[in-house]
């Protein structure tokens, strides 16, 4: 029986899988194992080498099973990446009405769940023309005509700059969804590029896992590109 020291190289989180990458990792792992065995001055025959390669390949593929995959949203000049297990649903009529009253139009609604009233995460995207206005005015309109209709408290407001240098205003608050009637923790981003078109993204979840939720939100927000 052969005993040896084994070093395993795992896939980088969130890195897209492809056949070449998996094969390269398997070969690297095999070489490391082989070198370790040589260091122990053991003899390895052809069949054992093949078995080690297959085992290394299986380790890489299994480790890759936990890698998150993402889908691309690309509409109305806005592009971003969101979790691949989320499902797009039709915009709820109540939400669309509130968005329209705020000067926006909903361009996409995505959920991690089964329906508008049964989800663990929801993301709603809207677009509005602010050529003759400002980001502050657009955010105020959304706050006064949409956010406060759902918020259970005065939102915490923060002004920031997104990863791709887009100016943004962020609202954080507890809310009761107008369409879902669920009590959710909500974060709403209102942002623009060169004060021409304003976008908003509403993130909401009934979950209390704040750290994990923030990670999901941050990954999406960091992927935002305005064309």
CATH of the domain at 157: 3.40.1000.10
Identify the helix (H) or strand (E) that includes residue 222. Answer: helix 210-222
Average pLDDT, the chain: 80
Model confidence pLDDT, tens digit, residues 36-65: 545 555 555 656 556 655 555 554 444 444
- The predicted model gives 15-36 an average pLDDT of 51
Model confidence pLDDT, tens digit, residues 101-140: 999 999 999 999 999 999 999 999 999 977 667 899 999 9
Q: How confident is the model at residue 29 (pLDDT cuts 50, 70, 90)?
A: low
Residues 181 and 117 sit within 8 Å (Cβ to Cβ): yes
pTM of the model: 0.71
Q: Could you give the residue ranges of the DSSP H alpha helices within 82-123? A: 93-101
The answer on 41 and 77 residing in a single domain is no
The answer on 220 and 130 residing in a single domain is yes
- B/e letters for 134-173, b = 16+ CB within 10 Å, e = fewer, are ebeebbbbbbebbbeebbeeebeeeeeebeeebbbbbbeb
Domain housing 45: 1-67
Q: Does residue 94 carry a pLDDT above 80?
A: yes
Count of domains in the chain? 2
Give residue for tokens 């361009």.
107
Last residue of a domain, one of 47, 67, 87: 67
The answer on 175 and 155 residing in a single domain is yes
Nearby residues of 73 by Cβ (< 8 Å), 6 or more positions away: 79, 80, 81, 82, 108, 110, 125
- The 3-class secondary structure across 49-93, one letter per residue, is HHHHHHHHHHHHHHHHCCCCCEEEEEECCEEEEEECCCEEECCCH
Least trusted range by pLDDT, from 68-72, 113-117, 150-154, 172-176: 68-72
The answer on 50 and 91 residing in a single domain is no
The answer on 213 and 192 residing in a single domain is yes
Q: Strand pairing of 167-176 and 225-226?
A: unpaired
Compare 53 and 219 and report the one with higher pLDDT. 219
Mean pLDDT: which of 31-40, 62-71, 118-127, 206-215 is highest? 118-127
Q: How confident is the model at residue 10 (pLDDT cuts 50, 70, 90)?
A: very low
Compare 172 and 47 and report the one with higher pLDDT. 172
Tokens representing 199 are 């976008």
The answer on 170 and 87 residing in a single domain is yes
Q: How confident is the model at residue 152 (pLDDT cuts 50, 70, 90)?
A: very high
Residues 131 and 186 sit within 8 Å (Cβ to Cβ): no
The answer on 188 and 93 residing in a single domain is yes
Last residue of a domain, one of 49, 67, 85: 67
Least trusted range by pLDDT, from 57-66, 79-88, 198-207: 57-66
The answer on 57 and 75 residing in a single domain is no
Identify the helix (H) or strand (E) that includes residue 169. Answer: strand 167-176
Q: Does residue 97 carry a pLDDT above 90?
A: yes
């Amino acid at each position: 029986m052969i005993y040896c020291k084994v070093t395993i190289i795992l896939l980088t989180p969130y890195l897209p899988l492809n056949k070449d990458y998996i094969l390269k990792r398997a070969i690297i792992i095999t070489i490391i194992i082989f070198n370790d065995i040589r260091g122990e001055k053991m003899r390895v025959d052809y069949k054992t080498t093949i078995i080690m390669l297959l085992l290394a390949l299986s380790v890489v593929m299994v480790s890759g099973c936990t890698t998150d995959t993402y889908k691309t949203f690309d509409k109305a000049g806005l592009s971003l990446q969101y979790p691949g297990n989320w499902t797009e649903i039709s915009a709820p009529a109540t939400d669309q009405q509130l968005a329209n009253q705020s000067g926006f139009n909903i361009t996409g609604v995505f959920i991690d769940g089964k329906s508008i009233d049964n989800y663990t995460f929801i993301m709603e995207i809207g677009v509005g023309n602010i050529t003759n206005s400002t980001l502050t005015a657009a955010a105020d309109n959304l706050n006064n005509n949409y956010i406060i209709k759902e918020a259970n408290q005065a939102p915490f407001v923060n002004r920031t700059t997104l990863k791709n240098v887009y100016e943004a205003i962020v609202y954080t608050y507890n809310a009761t969804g107008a369409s879902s009637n669920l009590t959710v923790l909500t974060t709403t981003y209102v942002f623009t590029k060169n004060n021409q078109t304003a976008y908003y993204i509403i993130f909401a979840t009934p979950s209390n896992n704040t750290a994990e939720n923030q990670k999901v939100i941050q990954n999406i927000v960091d992927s935002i590109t305005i064309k």
